[in-house]
Structure 1
C-alpha cells in the first residue's frame, strides 16, 4: 500500500491523504508501521517530510491533512483550534437512533484506571464538545450516520455516539462491542480548510469499501467507493 496513491489534495503548502483504516498516525509502541513510514514518499520534491496537522484514530479512514512546511502547519493548527475547519464523518452505528438528526453537546474529559487504561468520558467539568448528526440509511438493524463535529476532542464521535445517542459505533473495541479483528466503522469523508489568499483546501475521501460490504451505498453527493 502506497499512500502516494491515496492523494486527495496537493499544492505547495498542503496535502490531504485518504488514510487507510488500520494505519496509525503516531508510531505505535509495538513498532508496527505508521504514517511516519510513508512520509518520505509524500515529499513530492520537497526536502522536508510533511507534518500531520491533526490525528485520526488507527481504525478511522479518510481525510488526513498534512502541512508541507512549518509555517503552514502553524496556520492549519490554529484553524483547527479555532473551529474554522469543516469536517464531515460517516459512521455505522450498532442500532438505529430515534429521529433523523440533531446535536450532541456533551463535554468530555480523559479518565484512566489501572484495570482498563484510559478512555474519554462525559464530564460536566470537561472540555466543550459538540457534534451534529443526521441519519442517512438503515440496513439490517444498523444505521449510517453523518457527523459534523464542531470541536475535535479525542474520541469525540465515539463517545458522543454512545452517550448522546445510546448506540456505539459498530466495531468500536473501547466504547462498543468490537472484538478481536473488528475495526471501528468511522470514516472522515470531507475536509475543508479556508485560507486567506489561496483557494480553500477541499478534500473528499471515497466511500469505504468496508461500509459497502455491509450493504450501504454512498450517500447522495459523496465520493464513490474506491475501485
Structure 2
C-alpha cells in the first residue's frame, strides 16, 4: 500500500486537502469510501476526509482506486522565465525569511493576470522560489498602477496564516498618496460604503450607501503645497477594490494621476508626473512563528520626484502615534475614624458572647 509521512508544510490541514495537494486523482468521495472500510489510516488508526493531520504522522491508503476517477483539467505548463525576468523580479525583493518574501512592486505591473494583461507578478513567481519547495503564493494584491510593499507566502501554512491576518483586518497597511488640493479636515476616518458602478463592467467602483459594502479608511494630511496638493497618509480599515481612490474622490480630493476617479483635473501641470501617486509604504503583520514583520518600501521614482518638486520633507512621513497614556491608578479607599475599628457591613462570628461590664461592690 502507498504510504507517506506528513510534512511540516501540511501540518493542520484536512486529510482530503492533503490528497488534493499531492494526489489530485484521489477525490473527496474516494477518501470517504476508503474511510468507511478503514482502508485509509493515520498512524494505524482509521481516518476520514475531514480529519486534521499532523506533521510526522504516517499515512497509508490503497494503491487501487475504488472507481474510475474523472481526471482534473491539466494545468497549463508555465513557460520558463527569461534570465532578464528572473533578475527583474529578484531586484524587487526587500525582505525574505522562512515564511515570507516582500517585494516593492513597481507601478504598471499587475499583481495577477487578466484580460489584456500580458505579464504579472503571479506569472513570474517562479523567479522567487529560491531554496523553497514550491513557488511563493500571493496572499493579497495591489492595483496595477499602485506601487509598494506586496507580501508573498513561501509555504502553504504561511499562506493560510497570512490570509487569515488580512481577512481579519489584523494586518496594518499604510499608503502614501498625493491628492488634488488639501482636505479641510486634516485627519479623520472616511466611512462610505462602496459597490461596483453600473455600466462599468466591474472596472469602476463608486460610493453606494444603500447597497454598497462597508468601507472605512483612516487618513491624515502629512504636508501640503499651498492649496495645490497634499501629501496624505491613508490606512484602509477594510479591503474594498479601489477603496483609497474612491474615498479620496468622495471627499473631493482625488489622487494625482487618477483619471478614472478624478477626471482631467487630477493631472497637475508644472512637471508633475501623470502616473497615479499611490504607494504602499508600510506593512505590519504578525508572523507564523509569533514575531511581527514591519517593512517599509521606498517610493517609485515618479512619486519621489513629485514630492521633491513640491518641497515635501520625507522625514515627516514615518510619524508614529504616541501610545495612549495609562489609566490613572485608583487610590485605596480611605476609612473614617468612626468606622476604621468596625467596618460597615462586617458581621461578628457566630458563637461568641460579649462580656458584661464588672459589677461594683
For normalisation by structure 2, the TM-score amounts to 0.57
Aligned match of 1:225:
none
1:117 to 1:217, Cα distance in 2 relative to 1, 3 A? farther
Matches of 1:219 and 1:175, distance apart in 2: 29
Secondary structure of 2:257's match? coil
Aligned match of 1:47:
133
Q: Contact 2:181/2:253 (CA < 8 Å) preserved in 1?
A: yes
Secondary structure of 1:73's match? helix
Where structure 1 has 5 or more consecutive residues not aligned to the other structure, the ranges are: 223-227
Higher helix share: 2
**Displacement, 1:221?**
5.5
Q: Which of these residues, 52, 61, 69, is aligned with residue 155 of structure 2?
A: 69
Deviations 1:177-226 (A, max 9, x none): 3699942210000001113633112210013321221224424364xxxx
Aligned match of 1:151:
238
Higher strand share: 1
Where structure 2 has 5 or more consecutive residues not aligned to the other structure, the ranges are: 1-86, 268-272, 319-361
Secondary structure of 2:283's match? strand
Question: Is 1:108 matched with 2:200?
Answer: no
Q: How does 1:123-142 map to 2 (within 5 A)?
A: 123-124=208-209, 125-139=211-225, 141-142=228-229
Aligned match of 1:218:
314
Q: Contact 2:122/2:138 (CA < 8 Å) preserved in 1?
A: no
Question: Is 1:85 matched with 2:171?
Answer: yes
Secondary structure of 2:316's match? coil
CA radius of gyration, larger in: 2
**Displacement, 1:8?**
2.2
Aligned length: 219
Aligned match of 2:185:
99
Matches of 2:317 and 2:274, distance apart in 1: 28
Q: Contact 2:190/2:218 (CA < 8 Å) preserved in 1?
A: yes
**Displacement, 1:6?**
2.1
Question: Is 1:120 matched with 2:216?
Answer: no
Higher relative contact order (CA 8 A, sep 6+): 1
**Displacement, 1:95?**
1.4
For normalisation by structure 1, the TM-score amounts to 0.88
Deviations 1:130-176 (A, max 9, x none): 1111111223611110001111111000001011x211111113111
Question: Is 1:175 matched with 2:261?
Answer: yes
